[in-house]
């Protein structure tokens, strides 16, 4: 979501005559778009601001702006810690950025705007994909009403708000006209899409409508809340051709006690039923998830229940974190905090188990031909290209730059932990097409 917000910011500032640069020293404006989902991310943002402060000392005309969740969280108070900032803008104020910067340029004033906007103007800002890009993000909603006990998002991104379907469809059509063939729909809880619009269309209907747009071959979405995952949505994986066979479905814990303390709104059994349903409609679906270890009150038995759930599901990948206390969330007041050492040790064991599972799942693709949408040159070799399968696995294979943006049939030769190695599939004269 932050990447998408940054793309929107770039689009807005291009209209003001700005261009992006890799040379920070020569910039007129430096804007830091921040995350504060974990304490570590917030610390990183402050240390980056400190580095830019030195540039501002050398160039007093440089405009320094900070946006995103850290700016939302700190508001005016951020100036006590970073008094050199010119603009502080919150998660609902992106649309006002050109005006904030003009105000600074005109009279050198400092601007702090972090009020939640009554309407979702920021939702309708359209990022412009780079020339030749085949993939794009599309925001479909913002905010969250769930208030999971550990999560700062509802406090910083505001209440859930869905973007009108006609605006979303118009954006996807425009993207398709510009050659985009894969869209990733974004929201804190996309499965709840439509609730603030009176329930219709819901998320499955939106997916079906996007699936009918000419030129869109792949639809992805993130993130899903297990409680709101309906059978109709599961059915979309079987019925909508463009749906990619991958879902990110955060479980957070395998213990009912901890899920209850987290206020997640589902049990371990209900989560497993959802996985069963997804695999019923889409047997090859790849499933990824999030887990927090060391949530307050997590005993060794609770932790073992999480490992057991992982064994049952065999996730394709897992984003796992140690619980990190966030100011203003319910869990701050919880008793039985888990010592840091125990959290680290649990995280290590859990990640070792996940590595086994990721490799196991990746190896299942060895010897098979997968359709890869080529994103560009591989980071590891000039002679290789890289892309993704529909099930969201990264595939590297020998090929030239002319393949960028094409769809290639690739024979998977070797599975690694973070990617697959392949070669253009034999038989077909040209294993790649531009469609
Ligand atoms: S559903 Fe996700 S974004 Fe919303 S409160 Fe829970 S963890 Fe945070």
* pLDDT per position as a tens digit, 91-140: 989 999 999 999 887 777 789 999 887 666 777 888 887 788 899 999 99
The Å distance, Cα 260 to ligand 1 centre, comes to 14
Residue 263, ligand 1, Cβ within 6 A: no
State the average pLDDT over residues 259-273. Answer: 98
- Listed in order, strand segments (DSSP E) in 174-260 are 182-186, 218-222, 246-248
Q: Which of 298, 276, 293, 186 is nearest to 231 (CA)?
A: 276
Query: What pLDDT does residue 427 have?
Result: 57
Percent of the chain scoring above 90 in pLDDT: 75
Q: Compute the distance from residue 150 Cα to the ligand 1 centre, in Å.
A: 9
What's the whole-model pTM score? 0.92
Compute, in angstroms, the gap from residue 159 CA to the centroid of ligand 1.
11
Please report, for residues 43, 87, 303, 342, the alpha-carbon distance to residue 90 in angstroms, rounded to integers and kept in the order given: 18, 10, 36, 36
Q: Which of 35, 151, 328 to mutate to test the pocket of ligand 1 (most atoms within 8 A of CB)?
A: 151
373 touches ligand 1 (CB under 6 Å): no
Q: Can you tell me the mean pLDDT for 12-38? A: 91
Reported as a single tens digit per residue, the pLDDT across 200-254 is 899 999 999 999 999 999 999 999 999 999 999 999 999 999 999 999 999 999 9
Atom of ligand 1 nearest to the CA of 147: 5
Pocket test for ligand 1, best of 153, 156, 331 (most atoms within 8 A of CB): 153
- Among 142, 188, 224, say which to mutate for ligand 1: greatest number of ligand atoms within 8 Å of CB: 188
* Ligand 1 atom with minimal separation from the 225 CA: 1
Whether residue 25 is predicted with pLDDT greater than 70 in this model: the reply is: yes
For atom 8 of ligand 1, the residue with the nearest CA is 151
- As a whole number of angstroms, the distance between CA 85 and CA 29 comes to 11
If you count them, how many residues does the chain have? 435
Rounded Cα distance, 380 and 370, in Å: 21
């Amino acid at each position: 979501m932050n990447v998408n917000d940054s793309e929107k910011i770039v689009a807005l500032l291009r209209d003001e005559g700005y261009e992006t640069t890799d040379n920070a020293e020569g910039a007129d404006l430096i804007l830091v778009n921040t995350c504060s989902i974990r304490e570590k991310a917030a610390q990183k943002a402050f240390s980056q601001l400190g580095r830019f402060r030195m540039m501002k000392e050398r160039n007093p005309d440089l405009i320094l702006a900070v946006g995103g969740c850290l700016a939302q969280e700190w508001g005016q108070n951020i100036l006590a810690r970073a008094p050199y900032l010119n603009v502080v803008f919150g998660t609902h104020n992106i649309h006002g950025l050109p005006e904030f910067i003009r105000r600074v340029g005109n009279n050198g004033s400092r601007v702090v705007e972090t009020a939640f906007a009554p309407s979702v103007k920021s939702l309708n800002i359209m990022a412009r994909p780079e020339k030749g890009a085949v993939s794009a993000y599309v925001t479909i909603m913002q905010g969250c009403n769930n208030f999971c006990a550990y999560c700062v998002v509802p406090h910083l991104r505001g209440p859930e708000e869905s973007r009108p379907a006609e605006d979303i469809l118009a954006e996807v059509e425009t993207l398709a006209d510009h050659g985009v063939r894969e869209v990733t729909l974004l929201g804190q809880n996309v499965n709840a899409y439509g609730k603030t619009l009176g329930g219709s269309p819901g998320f499955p209907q939106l997916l079906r409508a996007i699936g009918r747009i000419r030129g869109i071959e792949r639809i992805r979405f993130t993130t899903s809340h297990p409680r709101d995952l309906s059978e109709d949505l599961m059915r979309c994986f079987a019925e909508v051709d463009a749906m990619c066979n991958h879902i990110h479905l955060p479980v957070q814990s395998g213990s009912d006690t901890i899920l209850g303390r987290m206020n997640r709104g589902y049990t371990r059994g209900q989560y497993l039923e959802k996985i069963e349903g997804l695999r019923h409609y889409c047997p090859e679906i790849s499933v990824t998830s999030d887990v927090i270890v060391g949530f307050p009150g997590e005993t060794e038995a609770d932790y073992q229940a999480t490992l057991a759930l992982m064994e049952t599901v065999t996730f394709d990948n897992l984003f796992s974190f140690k619980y990190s206390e966030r100011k203003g969330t319910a869990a701050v007041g919880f008793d039985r905090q888990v010592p840091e050492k125990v959290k680290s040790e649990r995280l290590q064991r859990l990640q070792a188990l996940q590595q086994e599972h990721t490799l196991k799942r990746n190896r299942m693709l060895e010897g098979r031909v997968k359709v890869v949408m080529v994103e560009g040159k591989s980071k590891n070799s000039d002679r290789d290209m890289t892309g993704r399968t529909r099930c969201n696995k990264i595939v590297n294979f020998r090929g030239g730059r002319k393949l960028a943006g094409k769809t290639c049939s690739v024979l998977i030769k070797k599975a690694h932990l973070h990617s697959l190695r392949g070669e253009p599939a034999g038989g077909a004269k040209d294993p790649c097409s531009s469609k």
